[in-house]
Structure 1
Amino acid sequence: MNTVFKTVKASKVTISELMLPSHTNFSGKIHGGYILSLLDQIAFACASKFSGNYCVTASVDTVDFLNPIEVGELVTMKASVNYVGKSSMIIGIRVEAENIRTGVVKHCNSSYFTMVSKNIDGSNALVPGLILSNLDEVRRFYNCIKMIAVRKEKQKHEEIFDFKSDEALSNLNNYNVQVAIS
């Protein structure tokens, strides 16, 4: 275990960007894929700043699109380390969009990226421990512990669930699906 510890505050990164017409999808809203690209960039910046190493994205644990983002809005992303393991970190990111004319700010997205710190040779690098300075940081840390447990339970379920059984196949009749296996 690493004996170096850093505060959550030491990991914080904020970026803002004006949304342009070139960022839109076919419905005229800002494309979710463009936002995902920005999320990955800020997750990298936050994790690398905290760990002092190059970091890679291991998984995108949650991306909740809550409100559409319009052309001309100022999007601000705030990221911080919510959890640390040996070489991994969970980065929490909040996305807000501000209507520059009215000043109205809306919460548009919440995301969690798992990032892994790497040494120059590509092996995993230890990350500093995390100093939790307030109860909100403690809450976020515990939420990440729960998120990890759910992910492990899901993986375990996928390994042992017999989707070929008669019971599993007949259970599909409860859904809007037809099974046509020959």
Structure 2
Amino acid sequence: MDARKVSDTAVVMPVRMLPQDANPAGNVHGGVILRQIDLVGGIAATRYARSRVVTASIDRVDFLEPVKVGEVMVLKAQVNYVGSTSMEVGVRVEAEDMLSGETRHAATAYMTFVAMGQDGKPRALPALERETPEDQRRFSEAEARRHTRREERRRERS
């Protein structure tokens, strides 16, 4: 199986936030943001795996700034790390005020997806080709998060 490039997994998805997406204060509900994070993460993971994928976990979501009604939420995703059947996808959420052009870093998330074969079982993934020092940094950080996740699961089982 040939390695696949990080850049081949990159997704940029703009979504206009409307009144039905928000609370009475005009801030977009966290659940709406989470749904979009899962969607864009799944696209990046599917591009990499070239097969169906399932969300195994959302390790961490940090909401940094509110997204308001009328703004465009721009979600940027890419595969950071690949194991044998699973991969970590990082998602950055930005809020863009289209009138002023101002953008804010609104949220960051790390998710794990598992590639699924036609038989409905996890399938092997090709290696991840890191093209830039930034790709390598993200890979190393994701590898450390994977180690932490495995240790936490081991402790929970015992």
**By the TM > 0.5 criterion, same fold?**
yes
* TM-score, normalising length: structure 1: 0.83
**Matched residues in 2 for 1:17 and 1:152: separation?**
34
Equivalence for 2:139: 141
SS at match of 1:72: coil
1:38-97: CA deviations, max 9, x gaps?
Answer: 111111111111110000000001100000001111111010000001111100010001
Unmatched 5+ stretches in structure 1: 161-182
Match of 1:50 among 48, 51, 61: 48
Per the TM alignment, residue 150 of structure 1 is displaced from its structure 2 partner at its CA by 1.4
Would the alpha carbon gap of residues 91 and 27 (structure 1) be closer, same or farther in structure 2, given more than 3 Å must change? same
Equivalence for 1:153: 151
Superposition CA RMSD, Å: 1.1
- Residue 123 of structure 1 aligns with an amino acid whose one-letter code is K
Equivalence for 2:61: 63
SS at match of 1:28: coil
Per the TM alignment, residue 143 of structure 1 is displaced from its structure 2 partner at its CA by 0.5
- Residue 39 of structure 1 aligns with an amino acid whose one-letter code is I
SS at match of 1:25: coil
Number of residue pairs the alignment of both structures matches: 158
**Matched residues in 1 for 2:24 and 2:87: separation?**
35
1:118 equivalent to 2:123? Answer no
Equivalence for 1:80: 78
SS at match of 1:77: strand
* TM-score, normalising length: structure 2: 0.96
Larger Rg: 1
**Matched residues in 2 for 1:130 and 1:8: separation?**
7
Calculate percent identity across the aligned residue pairs: 36
Per the TM alignment, residue 127 of structure 1 is displaced from its structure 2 partner at its CA by 1.4
**Matched residues in 1 for 2:126 and 2:21: separation?**
36
Structure 2 counterparts to residues 24-35 of structure 1, below 5 A? 24-35=22-33
1:108 equivalent to 2:106? Answer yes
**Matched residues in 1 for 2:126 and 2:75: separation?**
23
